[in-house]
Chain A
């Protein structure tokens, strides 16, 4: 896994992605402070948007292998594809988790809501970001181009969210990964159903596990 971390660190775009995750939520908090009144979810809503960073990171981590035949080099070093996949997954998880924790502390600090009780909610944000990053990673492995997954995921994470729109059509949409996962730390959600934080986290994790499972299977069988 260390190799994978080093590879990731060697990608300037990965650093950009991390920076995005680190800086966007606090920035949004400052911008929002004037317009939006403080509520139970202040700071946390902005952190939801900040998942953009992990999404890009996951996409880059997956896409980098396909560029320029690097896949062949990697496979020569680690013949077992699944082990390679596991190592990359680990690298992405670790990187995102660290970024998430830092960003959460920074954002909540800027928002003025960094209290002791925020601990579990911060954990929720970290898990949400990690799962989000892995989701982007898995989908990009399947589609081989980061453009489609990123487009869908980015648009979805903002005010113009498909998932949210879908909840107007069917209450089942509340079980989509982003909406379910956000339950881990958002208390004030305008969606049907009432998922407990842990349940929400498990639903999102299930989605991610499914995607990674399919990606792993396909990756295993595909020609380099």
Chain B
């Protein structure tokens, strides 16, 4: 549908995203080759978090949200489409990453991207998004994590909850 095409075009025409993907793949490959025994996925995850943040916060650069809303006034629908498109774009990136690293879970990486995107949507700012998201996963993460089991349902639940919160924020806020 039109909204989805527009969102895809947006992501495709943002050079920073391609750069992030490239760097993530490159780093993963480097780590997989060079440092035997080290799991590249925690490093690659940073790339996905940044991808999510950049994709979502780009809407708030230069007042672009207004342009978007002038063509697509339905905000809740817009957010849903944005989430789906982000997931759509992140999936092949994740699959390739997992292939390069020869370990890891592509679905997890996609969920992590979505979560980062939701946070950046609420914060409306790339640097803030990066700090919060990386701060949580890398600084606080090690402490919080050990309590919770693996499995995807928790990240999925978080991603869903975060995206709902972000949607509510977009609907309520002045553009």
Asked if B131 and A56 sit within 8 Å, CB to CB, the answer is yes
Please tell me if B50 contacts chain A, counting CB pairs below 8 Å: yes
Asked if A162 and B43 sit within 8 Å, CB to CB, the answer is yes
Q: Which of A98-106, A146-154, A214-222 contacts B (4 or more CB under 8 A)?
A: A146-154
Please tell me if B46 contacts chain A, counting CB pairs below 8 Å: yes
Please tell me if A168 contacts chain B, counting CB pairs below 8 Å: yes
List B residues 116-133 near A (Cβ within 8 Å): 126-128, 130-131
Q: Size range of the interface on B?
A: 20 to 34
Please tell me if A142 contacts chain B, counting CB pairs below 8 Å: no
Asked if A13 and B128 sit within 8 Å, CB to CB, the answer is yes
Please tell me if A49 contacts chain B, counting CB pairs below 8 Å: yes
Asked if B35 and A150 sit within 8 Å, CB to CB, the answer is no
Chain B residues with Cβ under 8 A from A154's Cβ? 130-131, 134-135, 138-139
Please tell me if A6 contacts chain B, counting CB pairs below 8 Å: no
Please tell me if A111 contacts chain B, counting CB pairs below 8 Å: no
Chain A residues with Cβ under 8 A from B143's Cβ? 28, 31-32
Rounded to whole angstroms, the CA-CA distance of A155 and B50 in the bound complex is: 12
Asked if A147 and B54 sit within 8 Å, CB to CB, the answer is yes
Most chain A Cβ neighbours within 10 Å, of B53, B126, B127, B135: B127
Number of interface residues of A (CB under 8 A): 27
Main SS class of interface, A: helix
Please tell me if B99 contacts chain A, counting CB pairs below 8 Å: no
Answer whether A165 and B38 are a contact pair too, CB < 8 Å, given A150-B131, A160-B43. Answer: yes
- How far in angstroms is the closest Cβ of chain B from A111? 16
Interface string of B147-165 (1 = CB under 8 A from A): 0000000000000000000
Please tell me if B73 contacts chain A, counting CB pairs below 8 Å: no
Asked if B139 and A147 sit within 8 Å, CB to CB, the answer is no
List B residues 27-55 near A (Cβ within 8 Å): 31, 34-35, 38, 42-43, 46, 50, 53-54
Asked if B127 and A146 sit within 8 Å, CB to CB, the answer is yes
Asked if A150 and B127 sit within 8 Å, CB to CB, the answer is yes
Asked if A168 and B35 sit within 8 Å, CB to CB, the answer is yes
Answer whether A155 and B138 are a contact pair too, CB < 8 Å, given A13-B128, A160-B42. Answer: yes
- How far in angstroms is the closest Cβ of chain A from B75? 25
Chain B residues with Cβ under 8 A from A168's Cβ? 35, 38
- How far in angstroms is the closest Cβ of chain B from A23? 12
- How far in angstroms is the closest Cβ of chain B from A120? 27
Please tell me if B71 contacts chain A, counting CB pairs below 8 Å: no
Answer whether A165 and B54 are a contact pair too, CB < 8 Å, given A13-B128, A150-B127, A160-B42. Answer: no
- How far in angstroms is the closest Cβ of chain A from B112? 14
Asked if A147 and B126 sit within 8 Å, CB to CB, the answer is yes
Please tell me if A63 contacts chain B, counting CB pairs below 8 Å: yes
Asked if B134 and A155 sit within 8 Å, CB to CB, the answer is yes
Please tell me if B142 contacts chain A, counting CB pairs below 8 Å: yes
- How far in angstroms is the closest Cβ of chain A from B98? 18
Please tell me if A52 contacts chain B, counting CB pairs below 8 Å: yes
Closest 8 CB pairs of A and B: A158-B138, A146-B127, A154-B134, A31-B143, A160-B42, A155-B46, A150-B130, A147-B126
Between A and B, 20 residue pairs with Cβ closer than 8 Å are A13-B128, A32-B143, A52-B131, A52-B135, A56-B127, A60-B127, A63-B127, A146-B130, A147-B126, A147-B127, A147-B130, A150-B131, A151-B130, A154-B130, A155-B46, A155-B134, A158-B142, A162-B43, A165-B35, A169-B34
Residues on A facing B (Cβ under 8 Å): 13, 20, 24, 28, 31-32, 49, 52, 56, 59-60, 63, 145-147, 150-151, 154-155, 157-160, 162, 165, 168-169
